[in-house]
Amino acid sequence: MKKGFKKIMAYFCAIALIVTSVTVYNNKSVSAYEDSEYTALTNGKGAAVGDWSELFAGTYDGLAGNMSYAGSKLDDLSLKIDESCGKPGTWHLQAKTKLTGLTAGKTYDIKTKLNSSMAGILYEKTDVTGVVNSNIEIKVGENETTLQFKATGETETLVFELSGMPTGCVIDFKGITTTEATEIVTTTEQQPEEDGYYASIKGQWTLTSPWSAFSTGSIKYKGTADSNSATVDIKFAEYGGGDWQTQLRVLGSTNTVGPLEAGKDYKVKVDYTASKAFDGLVKVGEKAENVKFAEGTNSLEISYKAETEKPDIYLNLGYAPADEELNIKLTLVKVEDIQTSVDPTSNNVTSADVTSPDATSADVT
């Protein structure tokens, strides 16, 4: 009896050792860095680190994002995800690096090697040209991703989006190479359906212009854009899926909206008609504004200081209910171009942009 008991205990001890060794492998073999060697990023504030132009972690819109790093090279950067919302495509955790020495008009392949301690979903995109490789399935251990883009200038920024990787995950970047493409991958722009609307592709960005869409649910949309405005009609066949799980965008790289004057103040007028009320977000450039879309026809204004001539425009519509129908138009007007309007039949100034005259000025009548 004692011998049998000892054999059973020895068996369970062996199993425990195997499990322990696997756990150690998953947590520690990916990175050569000790926990004490990681530096925590300041939440909501990007940091330039060595070869990486920006590492960013932010908690906002009710979704968590905290991250630490060790190393600073393209082939030696370790990222420890301290807290993740687990929702890919929400951009709460990012790593950016600049690609240089490019030639405008040429097509390039980017290959990235990385090791991961846990499985999850990664996005990567080129910031200027707006090419997105979404829903990349990252497995435990070694991984390689590829992205092809056509350069529009000598530099480009490559962005990795890590919000779809779980809390506790350690990712080690082992190298990024950019080479001129020997084989061009051709893509066919998506065609509209008979009613003129485009259908979303579950979990992927659509290949449409000027508006494109991403949704984990099901939507149909059609839209237009010109130098100072963008309009889109959206029909939701089902719930939007939650924060950032349904998005629509007009990328600055489409050269549709703009050019704006960088550094100037603008008013973004948002005119919309919604069949049901819900919470959303409008983002122009780096300015994000939470919006409560009310039922019916309404309008609102957002103040925006242009950072670039051609900003990206995003709509976060993840909280739209099923069967929602939304028509929205965004118009950008430079503040200094807004003229005071006066009703000729009265002495009332109707513009909200007029300031009271300076009482010390000789021009006061």
pLDDT, residue 8, reads 47
Whether the predicted pLDDT of 106 surpasses 70: yes
pLDDT, residue 26, reads 40
Whether the predicted pLDDT of 355 surpasses 70: no
pLDDT, residue 107, reads 94
Phi-psi region of 133 (alpha: psi -120 to 50; beta: other; left: phi over 0): beta
pLDDT, residue 354, reads 34
**114-156 pLDDT per residue, tens:** 999 999 999 998 988 778 787 799 999 999 999 998 898 999 9
Q: Report the Cα 210 to chain-centroid distance in Å.
A: 17
pLDDT, residue 325, reads 97
Q: How far apart are CA 280 and CA 47, in angstroms?
A: 29
In residues, how long is the chain?
Answer: 365
Whether the predicted pLDDT of 359 surpasses 80: no
Q: Kindly state the average pLDDT of the residues 206-235.
A: 93
pLDDT, residue 184, reads 81
- Name the one residue in this structure whose structure tokens are 């059973």: 8
Beta-carbon count within 10 A of 126 CB: 23
Query: Is residue 187 very low, low, confident or very high in pLDDT (cuts 50, 70, 90)?
Result: low
**273-327 pLDDT per residue, tens:** 999 999 999 999 989 999 999 999 999 999 999 998 999 999 999 999 999 999 9
Query: Is residue 2 very low, low, confident or very high in pLDDT (cuts 50, 70, 90)?
Result: very low
pLDDT, residue 115, reads 96
Q: What is the mean pLDDT of the chain?
A: 84
Q: Which of 97-101, 106-110, 168-172, 201-205 has the lowest mean pLDDT?
A: 201-205
From the candidate CATH numbers 1.10.3720.10, 3.40.1260.10, 3.40.50.300, 2.60.120.260, the one assigned to the domain spanning 35-180: 2.60.120.260
For residue 154, which amino acid is it?
E
Query: Is residue 183 very low, low, confident or very high in pLDDT (cuts 50, 70, 90)?
Result: confident
- Name the one residue in this structure whose structure tokens are 């420890």: 80
Fold match flag (35-180 vs 198-337): yes
**182 — phi, psi (to 5°)?**
-95, -20
pLDDT, residue 67, reads 97
Q: How far apart are CA 11 and CA 312, in angstroms?
A: 60
Query: Is residue 61 very low, low, confident or very high in pLDDT (cuts 50, 70, 90)?
Result: confident
pLDDT, residue 339, reads 55
Whether the predicted pLDDT of 65 surpasses 90: yes
What are the boundaries of each domain within the chain?
35-180, 198-337
Q: What angle do CA 275, 327, 132 make, to 5 degrees?
A: 120
**246-260 pLDDT per residue, tens:** 999 998 877 789 999
pLDDT, residue 244, reads 85
Residue 293, strand partner residues: 278
Nearest Cα to Cα of residue 145 among 116, 111, 173: 111
Q: Which CATH architecture has domain 198-337?
A: Sandwich (2.60)
